[in-house]
Chain A
Amino acid sequence: MNADQRDIRGVLEQVGAIVLGKERQIRLCLSCLLARGHLLLEDIPGVGKTTLAHALAKTLGLSFQRIQFTSDLLPADVLGVSIFERESGQFRFQRGPIFAQLVLADEINRAPPKAQSALLEAMEEQQITIDANTYELPDPFFVVATQNPQDQAGTFPLPDSQLDRFLMRVHLGFPAQEVERELLNGVDRRDLLQTLLPSMDASRLVGLQRSVQSIHVSPALLDYVQALVAYTRRPGGFKQGLSPRAAIGLLRAARAWTLLEGRDAVLPDDVRAVLDAVVEHRIGPREDGVRGSARLLEAVAIP
């Protein structure tokens, strides 16, 4: 446990030094990765989404690829393409940028649905199939996608079914005033990124993921998770109820958060900490305009 905690603290400190004043968001992102979930960062451009993703990849010692999604992006630009080699007289598969442990899909909602779904299928299967050949993607495999808010011009919003594949959606938000001052005074964050050294390697990360699985969940806590899920499924109020996949994801994310908190059993507090990030993009704002997760936090009694 102590080794886990030491490693986690190292990661949090190092990323926190790059992305200032966003400790809670960084913790959420890390729990998402520890829970083997893909992450969606949603915010306006320029608040540090890409920097955060980059910093995480470097700190965790993961191979990193960045795909800038544009409106003319083709699936082959993501997955790779078979090229005819004149020397050998054969087709050889040229791997695309998706073959990395951490893939940053930047501005995913600027690409048309065809390219989006190429990525999203890879996320679900952790393998890709091209010309009847199946290629395994590396392990661990994370996609950190960033997207601009839906109402910006020139976007293809992700359909609900694909949003569901992201374990969490995290908003960064503007920095606080004193943090912004520090940003303005300090070194360019991108330069800092260059100097970043990994604080652990991929195998250590897999070890942490295993620790997440061993976090204890009591029946009383399962009651709470079920009460939350059941509440969203009641008629009226929510656009749609939480799926079983979402419920499983919620529990996994809560376990990862518990590990970050340094405890060995999940408390309702851990569920509540990750609730907004896990459920908000699945249930959406309520018909009366209240945030769905806020309503859940307030309305569902702790059993």
Chain B
Amino acid sequence: MNPRQPFVNLERLSWTAGCLLLALLPHLKSLPAWIISTIALATGIRLALAWHGRSLPPAYLRLAVSATAIALLFIQFRTFNGIDAGTALLSLMAGLKFLEARSLRDIRIIILIVYFLSLTALLVGTSFGLLFYLLGVCWLTTAILLRLTLSQPAPGLRDSLLFSARLLLLALPLAAALWLFFPRFSGPLWRLPSADSAAQSGLGDRMSPGDLSELSLSDEVAFRVRFDGAAPPPSQRYWRGPVLEDFDGRSWKRSESAQIGAPAPQPLGPAYRYTLSLEPHHHPWLLALDWPAQWDAPRAYLTPERTLLQSEPVNQPLDFNAVSHTQIQDESELDARQRRRDTRLPQQRNPRTLALAQRLRAQSGGDAEFAQAALELFRRETFFYTLTPPRLALDSVDEFLFDTKRGFCEHYASAYAALMRAGGVPARVVTGYQGGTYNRFAGYWIVRQSDAHAWNEIWLQSRGWVRADPTAAIAPERIERGSEALYGMDSAAAGTWSPLLEEFGLRMDAMRQLWREAILRFDQGSQMSLLRSLHIPEPDAQKLALLLAAALACTSVWLSWQLQSGLRSRHTDPAAIAFARLRKKLQTKGIAERPSETALELAARVRLQRPDLAERVGELCRQYNELRYGRSGVAAHAIRQYADAVRRFKA
């Protein structure tokens, strides 16, 4: 490199482009493809120009490209506001800025945009992996920024990385203070991505044969639960989701609530308190232990079907506390309309099932005996519980009950409900999850999509809605030991590695949950209780802001003290410490400190700038040289005298 070579060279551009790439990675999924290719193209062209030492494209071309790109962006998003459009605009600007990067200032602007881009990733993602990734990006970007300096030599990469890490560590207390005390708002400040843009996952409001068995292949976490005290036994761990009541012969569908405000059931068993951390599934319902009695999710209400529902879909991780009873006494009456709905079967479908139901009904006395007889039938006949049931056509219940006899929980639930309805007993399908995996490292339960389950509720006179689970009749191990029992049977992949892998998986999950409980769940309420625990009466946002200011001030004082002591610790020689003090005193009199100045040079400068001080400073400088550089054997008292002389010196 020679002095004539431009500052913005291939190496610096490549480093900057690398930073931009790292900051863009979390956005790759959400950015339109054309924006990504525009950025890649602009950066690539600029790097190629730098490689060949060619000059930048002419200004009118750059202007035309930018104007076109921004117009396209507006056409696509119809706005520059919002997370998606804003992120796209930022990314585009960073990419196009490369085309005109010719000075240090341009590169610094790109770096600044890189910091912003990294931040925007946190507006949509909250995982702790993402945070650590972004911290890494921030670290690297700061190191690159440190190397982008006109003063030479630029520090090496290793030094820059070390120094950048130090800066980040020094910023840690500031970040902690802001995190603890920056006033939080109860609602989001910006509109979050709407449900239609995100793929829905987990249970749906419709269940056809094969839906749940497909879902059961997914290892994805549906939610995590931490119980306050003991967890209910496995056979009671039913997590209630949407209730399906409309049957068309093949599929079950959720219907609009017929009835408002069901009377509260009488709890029979113990109450279970728990905190449920729901992953976003983009449906409006929440999951809760059957049957929920209290909950603190602010926008959720209980439907007459006893599903927790909220007005908008769950698009963000949602944490709430709830109380449930696993046994209740429901004494509500079923009105005629609802009875009609819950006994309705489609005309001319599943004729063999109808015949079977009538036969069973004739053999048994009351509704309860009939329900029991149907369960017995499932237990007696040779039904197989399998993850890979054969496909069923329109008369799915008939085919399943009489031909294939192989099914997953949704087949059993569907068939059982159809049988019940054919016998005149009101019945419905409840979907949700059953069981869960206990994380022994952190003491909570993980419920995955593979724990998805469907069961039935039948209405019995004077007992109300009663849970009936035909799956428990056929494959009791599914209920007692959870869905894992099935995989144990189905797959022989349980090798020697699996215990280790399982432990690793659980530990990772524990870390994620800790992250969620300790960091993400920290909200306005937590802030107020923190203030209360600091004995601050009537906490509000204003006090929070005051506290924030105080914390920031403390942190700044701490930081400057750190820097100060860092400077001080450079000297161990008392003469040097005294001389440094003299320099500080002179600095207050307009004689700036210059670290590369010797004592004699300082004295000469004082002679020019402050002739009135020249004599005393000259003497102090001469003495300093003698003490610090003179022959050894300087008496301790001489140094003390010198320090005193400096202390007495008043500029």
Contacts and interface: CB of A to CB of B under 8 A. Distances in A.
B631 interface: yes
A300 B576 contact: no
A288 B631 CA distance: 40
Interface centre among A238, A302, A303 (most CB of B within 10 A): A302
Interface residues of A, number: 29
A293 to B, nearest CB: 12
B255 interface: no
Interface string B598-638: 11110000000000000000000000011011111000000
Interface stretch (B150-158, B281-289, B434-442): B150-158
B3 interface: yes
Contacts of B625: 267
Contacts of A303: 570, 576
B146 to A, nearest CB: 13
A295 B596 CA distance: 11
A302 B597 contact: yes
A266 interface: yes
B596 A298 contact: yes
Contact of A218 (B3, B154, B599, B632): B632
B3 A299 contact: no
Interface string B2-30: 11000000000000000000000000000
Interface in A230-246: 234-238
Contacts of A235: 153, 156
B90 to A, nearest CB: 32
A46 B398 CA distance: 117
B595 interface: yes
B573 interface: yes
Given A236-B156, A302-B596, A287 B3 contact: yes
A269 B573 contact: no
A264 interface: yes
Contacts of B630: 216, 218, 265
B629 A238 contact: no
Contacts of A237: 152-154
B629 A287 contact: no
A272 interface: yes
Interface string B467-505: 000000000000000000000000000000000000000
B152 A288 contact: yes
Contact of A299 (B154, B596, B626): B596
A297 B152 contact: no
Interface string A275-303: 00000000000111110000101111111
Contact of B598 (A238, A267, A288): A267
B629 A221 contact: yes
A267 B597 CA distance: 12
Contacts of B570: 303
Contacts of B626: 265
A268 interface: yes
A218 B576 CA distance: 13
A220 interface: yes
Contact of B152 (A264, A272, A287): A287
A220 B629 contact: yes
Contact of B596 (A216, A265, A297): A297
Contacts of A268: 598-599, 629
Contacts of A234: 153, 156
A269 B631 CA distance: 16
B123 interface: no
Nearest to A297: B596
A236 B573 CA distance: 32
B7 to A, nearest CB: 10
A269 B628 CA distance: 13
Contacts of A221: 629
A288 B156 contact: no
B600 A269 contact: yes
A220 B600 contact: no
A151 to B, nearest CB: 16
B1 interface: yes
Interface in A91-132: none
A268 B594 CA distance: 14
Nearest to B571: A303
Contacts of B601: 269
A216 B626 CA distance: 11
Interface of B: 1-3, 152-154, 156, 570, 573, 576, 595-601, 625-626, 628-632
21 contacts: A216-B630, A216-B631, A218-B631, A218-B632, A220-B573, A234-B156, A235-B153, A235-B156, A236-B154, A237-B152, A237-B153, A265-B626, A266-B629, A267-B625, A267-B629, A269-B600, A287-B152, A288-B152, A300-B596, A302-B597, A303-B576
Q: Which 5 pairs from chain A and chain B are nearest by CB?
A: A237-B153, A301-B595, A236-B153, A289-B3, A268-B598
